[in-house]
Copies of this chain bind each other. A is one copy, B any other.
Amino acid sequence: MSDDIKTRLLDAAQLLVQTHGHNGYSYRDLASQVGIRTASIHYHFPAKTDLAVALVRRYYEFVGAAMKKIEAEHTSLAERLEGVAGIYSGCLSAHQRICVAAALAGEYSSLPKEVQDELNRLMTDSQGWIAHFLEEGKKRGEISPASDPVALARLWYSALQGALVVARATNPTVLADVTQVLRQLTIQG
C-alpha cells in the first residue's frame, strides 16, 4: 500500500528535505511532484510543521528498523558498523541526498519546536544504537577494553553525517574514504 497519498506526500517531502532542506521547498513544489493541488495537501497535513513532524517520526522508525535488521543479521562488530554506514551511503547514492537528521539540523534554529524535539530524539537514539553495537563488540574483545563506546558512537555518527554533507558538496568518494578509515581506526584499535 505504498501508493496511498499520505505515503506519497511523505516520500516526496522527504526527498525535498534531503536535497533542499525544510525551508527550501514549498507546498507548491510538493503538489506538483505528487500531482495534486496545494489545498489538498492541507487536508492530510494541516500545517507544514505537521508534515515535518510526521516525516521525522517515520524516518525514526525507518532507522530503528534498519538497526534491528543489522543486529539480527550480523554478529561481528565490523559487519554491523558496515551495515550502519550502508544506511547513510544509501542516501547519497539515491538522488544525492543527505540524512534527514542532518538536513534539518542545519536549519535548527529556524525549525518549529516540535520538529526540534523529534530531531533531538532521532539523533540521540541513532547514536544509542551505534553505541549498543560498540558495547557488544567491546565485550567480545573486538575493540580495545579501554575504549569508550558512547564517545566512539558519537564519532561514528558525526563522521557519517558530516561525510554525506561534505561528499555531496565536493567529492562523492569522501564517504567511502571516511567509512574505511573509521573502520580501520576502530576495529581492534
Chain A residues proximal to chain B, CB less than 8 Å: 19-21, 23-25, 96, 98, 101-110, 116, 119-120, 123-124, 127, 148, 150-152, 154-155, 157-163, 165-166, 168-171, 174, 177-178, 180-182, 185-186, 189
Bound Cα distance A163, B159 (Å): 7
Q: How far is the CA of A177 from the CA of B154 in the complex (A)?
A: 7
Partner of A180, one of B151, B162, B163: B151
Q: Is the interface of A mostly helix, strand, loop or mixed?
A: helix
Assess the B181–A152 pair: CB atoms within 8 A.
yes
29 residue pairs bridging A and B, Cβ less than 8 Å apart: A19-B110, A21-B110, A23-B107, A96-B108, A96-B109, A103-B106, A103-B107, A104-B169, A105-B165, A106-B106, A106-B165, A108-B169, A119-B169, A120-B169, A123-B169, A124-B170, A127-B166, A150-B177, A151-B178, A151-B181, A154-B181, A157-B166, A158-B158, A158-B159, A159-B162, A159-B178, A160-B162, A161-B166, A185-B189
Given contacts A19-B108, A24-B23, A102-B106, contact A163 B168 (CB under 8 A): no
> B residues within 8 A CB of A21?
21, 23, 106-107, 110
Q: A20-B109, A109-B19, A169-B116 are in contact. Are A174 and B154 (CB under 8 A)?
A: yes
Query: In this complex, what residue of B is CB-closest to A182?
Result: B155
A110 contacts across to B, CB distance below 8 A: 19-21, 24-25
Q: Is the pair B107, A165 in contact by a Cβ cutoff of 8 Å?
A: no
Partner of A178, one of B123, B124, B158: B158
**A123 and B155 contact, Cβ closer than 8 Å, known pairs A23-B21, A110-B24:** no
Residue ID in chain B nearest A97 by CB atoms: B109
- The smallest beta-carbon distance between A12 and chain B, in angstroms, is 14
Q: In the bound complex, do residue A181 and residue B155 qualify as a contact, i.e. CB atoms below 8 Å apart?
A: yes
